[in-house]
């Protein structure tokens, strides 16, 4: 298993680099640009625009920008006269801020060395901005995942055991409805009913505003978590219940299930103790990416409910064309996806002892 994991991680490196190249190309090809987003509605001269573009490092061709983002810019500079000051450059202009003075070497280290850059909009290190949003995203994503599993898996088992019955037909209809209803529409309807008309739940945000700016413990603000968690978990409940039902129908006809029944075991022991474990094997395909995908955030849900997570940050960064933040989110979600599929393979081997990778 260890050798298999290492081999998969090595094979994922070209995929990760390909994702970053394509993402950076698409991002820089979008109309407008960071300078236009930052100066929207302002009257500035063309010279000031050029100086701002040089200061942000977005006035070069996209391959040069990508190399600077990936590897930094200290390797691109050299000291031609030996006075200790970089006075030459292979690829990028030395005067990055337009003040007429050459910039010192090593102003950017690149993500290879852990430097994700500085946010154009927040003017803070990108890593600091993202770390502040991770707890909110994990809080919402983990709660939604647990609700989806705790509710969806038992529903699928019971629907398979009572195949063709009233419960089975009802859950199938509800699963189709939950899959068909757009998340943004469901979120807005719940806000309208429970937040505006009834006034029993908050209409958004993670907690009530405080003087210190920090939210209280989660048990003190469950009312803020309830609506976004419900919206985000509906798709999981529908998906897990349907896949679990299909897997259970394949399992309950096996010989060992009939043997367990013949031994006089109670139905609960047969369905949940013997059949459910083997039926969980197909579900592992979706569980792995779902667990690691928590870092990717839920952009639509977080935007509707003003939840301060990574998804909402990513949407704002795309609108503002904040290149460093967008690429940092791309890196995190790409790594999470790769690790998710690897985790699915590991879960396969853990659930089914017959599967071996060595």
Dihedrals phi, psi of 221, to nearest 5 degrees = -140, 40
The candidate with the shortest Cα–Cα distance to 152, out of 237, 239, 230, is 237
Kindly provide the residue ranges of all beta strands, DSSP E only, lying in the chain, ordered along the sequence. Answer: 77-78, 88-89
User: Do 118 and 322 form a contact (C-beta atoms < 8 A)?
Assistant: no
Residue 233 in this model has a pLDDT that exceeds 60 = yes
The 10s digit of each residue's pLDDT in 85-111 is 444 444 444 444 445 444 444 466 778
Residue 102: closest CA among 78, 118, 85: 85
Read off the pLDDT of residues 251-295 as tens digits, 9 standing for 90 and up. 887 787 878 778 877 877 787 777 777 777 777 777 767 776 676
What is the arithmetic mean of pLDDT over 215-224? 84
As a whole number, the mean pLDDT across the chain is 80
Is-contact 88 73, C-beta < 8 A? no
Instruction: Place 147 in a pLDDT band, splitting at 50, 70 and 90.
Output: very high
The model's pLDDT over 49-75, given as tens digits with 9 standing for 90+, comes to: 788 887 777 877 888 888 888 887 766
Higher pLDDT, 340 or 76: 340
Does residue 187 register a pLDDT over 80? Answer: yes
Beta pairing class for 88-89 and 77-78: antiparallel
Neighbour tally for 287: CB within 10 Å: 19
The pLDDT value given to residue 355: 63
Residue 93: per-residue pLDDT = 44
Q: Which residues are CB-contacts of 96 (< 8 A; sequence separation ≥ 6)? A: 54, 55, 57, 103, 107
Domains of the chain and any CATH numbers: 31-113 (no CATH), 126-351 (1.10.3720.10)
DSSP 294-327: GGG--HHHHHHTT--SHHHHHHHHHHHT-HHHHH
pLDDT-based confidence at residue 34 (cuts at 50, 70, 90): confident
Vertex 132: Cα angle to 228 and 66 (nearest 5): 105
Radius of gyration, alpha carbons of the chain: 26
* Whether 12 contacts 343, CB under 8 Å: no
Structure tokens at 247: 């897997």
Q: Do residues 227 and 190 make contact, with C-beta atoms less than 8 angstroms apart?
A: yes
């Amino acid at each position: 298993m260890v050798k298999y994991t290492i081999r998969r991680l090595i094979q994922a490196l070209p995929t990760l680099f390909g994702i970053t190249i394509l993402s950076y190309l698409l991002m820089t090809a979008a109309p407008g640009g960071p300078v236009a987003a930052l100066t929207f509605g302002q009257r500035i001269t063309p010279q000031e625009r050029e100086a701002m573009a040089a200061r942000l490092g977005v006035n070069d061709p996209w391959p040069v920008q990508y190399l600077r983002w990936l590897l930094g810019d200290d390797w691109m500079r050299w000291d031609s006269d030996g006075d200790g000051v970089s006075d030459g450059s292979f690829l990028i202009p030395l005067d990055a801020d337009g003040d007429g003075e050459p910039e010192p070497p090593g102003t950017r280290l690149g993500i290879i060395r852990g430097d994700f850059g500085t946010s154009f909009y927040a003017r803070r290190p990108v890593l600091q901005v993202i770390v502040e949003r991770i707890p909110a995203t994990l809080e919402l994503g983990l709660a939604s995942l647990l609700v989806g599993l705790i509710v969806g898996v038992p529903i699928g088992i019971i629907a398979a055991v009572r195949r063709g019955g009233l419960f089975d037909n009802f859950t199938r209809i509800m699963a189709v409805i939950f899959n068909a209803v757009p998340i943004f529409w469901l979120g807005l309807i719940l806000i309208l009913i429970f937040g505006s008309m009834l006034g029993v739940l908050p209409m958004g945000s993670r907690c009530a505003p405080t003087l210190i700016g920090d939210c209280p413990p989660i048990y003190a603000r469950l009312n803020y978590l309830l609506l976004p968690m419900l919206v985000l978990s509906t798709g999981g409940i529908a998906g897990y219940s349907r896949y679990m039902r299909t897997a259970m129908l394949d399992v309950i006809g096996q010989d060992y299930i009939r043997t367990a029944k013949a031994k006089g075991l109670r139905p609960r022991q047969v369905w949940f103790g013997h059949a459910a474990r083997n039926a969980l094997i197909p579900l592992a395909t979706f569980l792995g990416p779902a667990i690691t995908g928590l870092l990717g955030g839920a952009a639509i849900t977080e935007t509707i409910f003003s939840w301060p997570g990574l998804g909402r940050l990513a949407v704002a960064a795309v609108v503002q064309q904040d290149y460093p933040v967008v690429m940092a989110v791309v890196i995190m979600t790409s790594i999470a996806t790769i690790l998710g599929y690897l985790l699915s393979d590991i879960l396969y081997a853990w659930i089914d002892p017959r599967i071996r990778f060595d």
